[in-house]
């Protein structure tokens, strides 16, 4: 079984994100980068599947990102992934979903695959599109935002649970398929010390666009960024104070009804 | 490619989602700019009965697809129906709700027509001959204003509760049935079951009012306090990551960067300090109320109204006071 896990390097959830001076992107100085948090569930699900099926099953990480992404790839390898493909090319900056999907589709098709796990979205551009576009390009089904994953005994099908508005939906899919993973799917393991040592010897195959057979960036030029906008500073908070808590609460209820008109 | 706009009207349990009318409003904004017309597509069981809700909003034509192959949701199937209609009608713009279904099928369909898609838009405008949208990035820590470069269909998923619903207009649009053209046997992934949420409360992503609890809830059983208030207001109960990690609340109601992004009219944060990850998930709420013992809690910087106090004292009084006026 060839299990692929897609990985992205993103700013830490704790990071304060500021617009750079030129207004063309974010300030990266002082920002810590980590594995996209949802991708950790994808790695774990890939490893669980490998452990369940055994044999010559293999988990391959595919990551597109700058040189520095090697660090998050090593982390995934330390968790237990077997090897990795790292697509890095100077021509790629802020790639859109079609660009990412087209490049990954090529890399994955070259290698072959039985299932692809990825995070439900990357917490930088928050598009949640790549996995669907990739599935279309590879002509396989996708199931988005998985919170449960049950593989059939013959490993040819899976029942995937996903949380939708007002309920839990079960989707039955044949494999190969692309599954995007949400928090709650599993408990991602930590990299162990022996895992970290082993990871140093695992193979990371570096690929440029040319290595993948592209003479230019595919799927680009579809949109243009007009402006990066900071958050509007929230208005002043009206602190409601009174001798008795009940008086403060009564005033709050009045304000919510008469001023804010929300109840 | 024309300046016409196609709105995807999502139905769940045979009922049209309310975001559909907001999408028509957005579509009218684009139509004013392009001079094009607004059409709609509704797929699934009960589609025809719901079509009238959109036909009365100044929509030219509502295409209705309801056959055996579309009885249950399938990303490929629904995306095929949408993409086929986009090609056939030469639509320049497609609007979907930023819902579980809209985001999933929209991204698949845009791949089929080789277009471009902007996800989770919170504002939509048209000037200088082009549509432009505003969307949150970095989990809502920044916004991006972005426009298509032209020449290919533009898909947009719009967050519910951001645009006003379109107004009723005289003269209903035409409702036309359409075959899905899908071979059910060729569908590789399909929904087999939907289990409704217990408790009958709305989902946090759809609720107009959310009562949310943090680590200060101290115990899972104390969420009863919040449930009582939420039920009184027809709202949902949410939780911070700290409360979920402590086992006080379940993950599906987690609000924040690794949970749900919510956009209610009223968000009441009870005993939530306001970590940056939590703020990322709820800062666009129209009115935010913070109840916290610590007057220095960062949540007060984002709140519109604040009470410094113990939630175990404040919330029961709040429930009683609201009960009196409803």
Asked if the structure places residue A20 within a domain, the reply is: yes
- Find the domain containing B37 and state its range: 5-186
- From the CB of residue A166, how many other CB atoms can be counted at a distance below 10 Å? 18
Asked if the structure places residue A43 within a domain, the reply is: yes
Give the closest of B73, B137, B147 to A126, CB-based. Answer: B137
A185 & A249 share domain: no
B110 & B41 share domain: yes
Asked if the structure places residue B75 within a domain, the reply is: yes
What percent of chain B shows pLDDT beyond 90?
89
A221:B194 CB<8 A: no
B129 & B255 share domain: no
A132:B252 CB<8 A: no
Q: Which residues of B touch A37 (CB under 8 A)?
A: 257-258
Q: Which two tokens stand for residue B261?
A: 């992004």
A11 & A98 share domain: yes
Mean pLDDT of B1-5: 95
A152 & A237 share domain: no
- From the CB of residue B245, how many other CB atoms can be counted at a distance below 10 Å? 13
Q: Are B23 and B96 a contacting pair, CB within 8 Å?
A: yes
pLDDT digits (tens, 9 = 90+) for A190-239: 999 999 999 999 999 999 999 999 999 999 999 999 999 998 766 689 99
B118:A223 CB<8 A: yes
Instruction: Say how many CB pairs under 8 Å bridge A and B.
Output: 257
Record the pTM. Answer: 0.92
R_g of chain A computed on alpha carbons: 22
Helix (H) or strand (E) holding A136: helix A130-138
Does residue A232 belong to the interface with chain B, where contact is any CB pair within 8 Å? no
What percent of chain A shows pLDDT beyond 90?
92
Residue B11: closest CA among chain A residues belongs to which residue? A165
A183:B197 CB<8 A: no
Residue B310: closest CA among chain A residues belongs to which residue? A245
Asked if the structure places residue B69 within a domain, the reply is: yes
B229 & B270 share domain: yes
A98:B100 CB<8 A: no
Most trustworthy range by pLDDT among A136-140, B127-131, B135-139:
A136-140
A240:B134 CB<8 A: no
Residues 127-186 of A with CB under 8 A from B: 127-129, 131-133, 135-137, 140-145, 147, 159, 162-174, 177, 183-184
Strand partners, B237: B211
Q: How close is the nearest chain A Cα to the Cα of B325, in Å?
A: 9
Asked if the structure places residue A74 within a domain, the reply is: yes
**Measuring CA to CA, how many Å separate A37 from each of A185, B106, B279?**
12, 24, 17
Does residue A213 belong to the interface with chain B, where contact is any CB pair within 8 Å? no
Q: How close is the nearest chain A Cα to the Cα of B215, in Å?
A: 18
Q: Are B36 and B150 a contacting pair, CB within 8 Å?
A: no
pLDDT digits (tens, 9 = 90+) for A98-157: 999 999 999 999 889 999 999 999 999 999 999 999 999 999 999 999 999 999 999 999
Rounded to 5°, the CA angle A70-A73-A79 comes to 145
Whether complex ipTM tops 0.95? no
Q: What's the number of domains chain A is made of?
A: 2
Rounded to 5°, the CA angle B160-A16-A44 comes to 75
B131 & B251 share domain: no
Task: Flag whether pLDDT at B200 surpasses 80.
Answer: no
Q: Which two tokens stand for residue A122?
A: 């990357």
pLDDT of residue A233: 65
Rounded Cα distance between B24 and B153, Å, is 17
Task: Flag whether pLDDT at A96 surpasses 90.
Answer: yes
Last residue of a domain, which of B122, B152, B186? B186
Q: What's the number of domains chain B is made of?
A: 2
Does residue B286 belong to the interface with chain A, where contact is any CB pair within 8 Å? yes
- Return all residues near B105 (Cβ < 8 A) that are at least 6 apart: B8, B75, B78, B79, B82, B96
R_g of chain B computed on alpha carbons: 21
Q: Which residues of A touch B97 (CB under 8 A)?
A: none
Give the closest of B107, B138, B195 to A167, CB-based. Answer: B195
Rounded Cα distance between A183 and A163, Å, is 11
A85 or B197: which leads in pLDDT:
A85
- From the CB of residue B34, how many other CB atoms can be counted at a distance below 10 Å? 17
pLDDT digits (tens, 9 = 90+) for B250-274: 998 999 988 999 999 999 999 999 9
pLDDT of residue B130: 93
Residues 97-126 of B with CB under 8 A from A: 99-101, 103-104, 107-108, 110-112, 114-120
What percent of chain B shows pLDDT beyond 70?
100
Does residue A255 belong to the interface with chain B, where contact is any CB pair within 8 Å? yes
B141 or B19: which leads in pLDDT:
B19
pLDDT of residue A234: 64
A245:B309 CB<8 A: yes
Task: Flag whether pLDDT at B97 surpasses 90.
Answer: yes
A169 & A256 share domain: no
Task: Flag whether pLDDT at A57 surpasses 90.
Answer: yes
Q: Which residues of A touch B20 (CB under 8 A)?
A: none
B117:A97 CB<8 A: yes
pLDDT digits (tens, 9 = 90+) for B21-66: 999 999 999 999 999 999 999 999 999 999 999 999 999 999 999 9
A245:B313 CB<8 A: yes
A34 & A157 share domain: yes
Rounded Cα distance between B221 and B208, Å, is 24
B115 & B263 share domain: no
- Return all residues near A102 (Cβ < 8 A) that are at least 6 apart: A137, A218, A219
Last residue of a domain, which of B139, B164, B186? B186
A249:B321 CB<8 A: yes
Optimal mutation site among A140, A145, A150, A165, interface B, most CBs of chain B within 10 A:
A165
A200 & A245 share domain: no
């Amino acid at each position: 079984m060839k299990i692929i896990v897609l990985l992205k390097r993103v700013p830490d959830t704790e990071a304060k994100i500021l617009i750079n001076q030129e207004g063309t992107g974010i300030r990266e100085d002082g920002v810590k980068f980590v594995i996209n948090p949802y991708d950790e569930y994808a790695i774990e699900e890939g490893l669980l599947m490998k452990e369940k099926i055994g044999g010559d099953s293999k988990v391959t990480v595919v990551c597109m990102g700058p040189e520095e992404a090697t660090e998050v790839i090593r982390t995934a390898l330390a968790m237990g992934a077997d090897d990795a493909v790292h697509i890095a090319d100077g021509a790629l900056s802020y790639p859109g979903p079609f660009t990412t999907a087209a490049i990954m589709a090529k890399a994955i098709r070259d290698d072959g695959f039985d299932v692809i796990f990825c995070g439900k979205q990357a917490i930088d551009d928050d598009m949640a599109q790549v996995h669907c576009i990739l599935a279309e390009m590879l002509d396989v089904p996708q199931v988005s935002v998985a919170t449960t994953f049950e593989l059939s005994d013959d490993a040819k099908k899976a029942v995937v649970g996903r949380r939708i508005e007002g309920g839990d939906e079960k989707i039955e899919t044949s494999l190969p398929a692309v599954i995007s993973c949400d928090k709650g799917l599993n408990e991602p393991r930590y990299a162990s010390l022996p895992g970290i040592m082993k990871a140093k010897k695992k193979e990371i195959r570096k690929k440029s666009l040319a290595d993948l057979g592209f003479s230019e960036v595919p799927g680009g030029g579809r949109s243009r960024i007009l402006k990066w906008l900071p958050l509007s500073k929230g208005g002043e908070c009206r602190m409601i104070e009174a001798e008795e808590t009940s008086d403060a609460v009564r005033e709050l209820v009045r304000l919510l009804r008469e001023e804010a008109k929300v109840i | 490619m024309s300046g016409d706009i196609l709105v995807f009207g999502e139905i769940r349990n045979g009922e049209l989602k309310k975001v559909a009318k907001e999408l028509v409003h957005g579509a009218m904004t684009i139509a004013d700019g392009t001079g094009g017309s607004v059409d709609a597509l509704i797929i699934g069981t009960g589609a025809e009965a719901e079509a009238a809700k959109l036909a009365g909003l100044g929509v030219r034509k509502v295409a209705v697809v309801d056959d055996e192959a579309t009885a249950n949701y399938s990303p490929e199937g629904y995306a095929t129906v949408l993409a086929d209609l986009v090609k056939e009608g030469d639509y320049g713009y497609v609007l979907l709700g930023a819902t579980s279904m809209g985001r999933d099928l929209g991204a698949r369909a845009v791949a089929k027509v080789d277009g471009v898609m902007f996800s989770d838009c919170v504002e939509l405008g048209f000037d200088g001959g082009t549509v432009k949208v505003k969307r949150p990035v970095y989990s809502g820590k920044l916004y991006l204003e972005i426009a298509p470069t032209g020449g290919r269909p533009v898909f947009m998923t719009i967050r519910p509760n951001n645009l006003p619903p379109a107004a009723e207009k005289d003269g209903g649009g035409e409702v036309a049935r359409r075959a899905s053209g899908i071979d059910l046997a060729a569908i590789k992934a399909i929904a087999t079951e939907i289990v409704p949420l217990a408790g009958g409360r709305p989902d946090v992503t759809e609720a107009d009012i959310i009562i949310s609890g943090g680590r200060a809830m101290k115990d899972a059983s104390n969420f009863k306090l919040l449930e009582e208030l939420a039920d009184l207001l027809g709202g949902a109960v949410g939780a911070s990551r700290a409360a979920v990690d402590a086992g006080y609340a379940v993950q599906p109601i987690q609000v924040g960067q690794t949970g749900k992004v919510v956009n209610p009219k009223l968000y009441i944060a009870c005993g939530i300090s306001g970590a940056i990850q939590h703020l990322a998930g709820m800062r666009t709420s129209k009115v935010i109320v913070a109840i916290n013992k610590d007057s220095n809690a960062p949540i007060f910087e984002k709140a519109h109204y604040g009470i410094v106090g113990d939630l175990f004292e404040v919330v029961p009084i709040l429930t009683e006071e609201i009960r009196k006026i409803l």
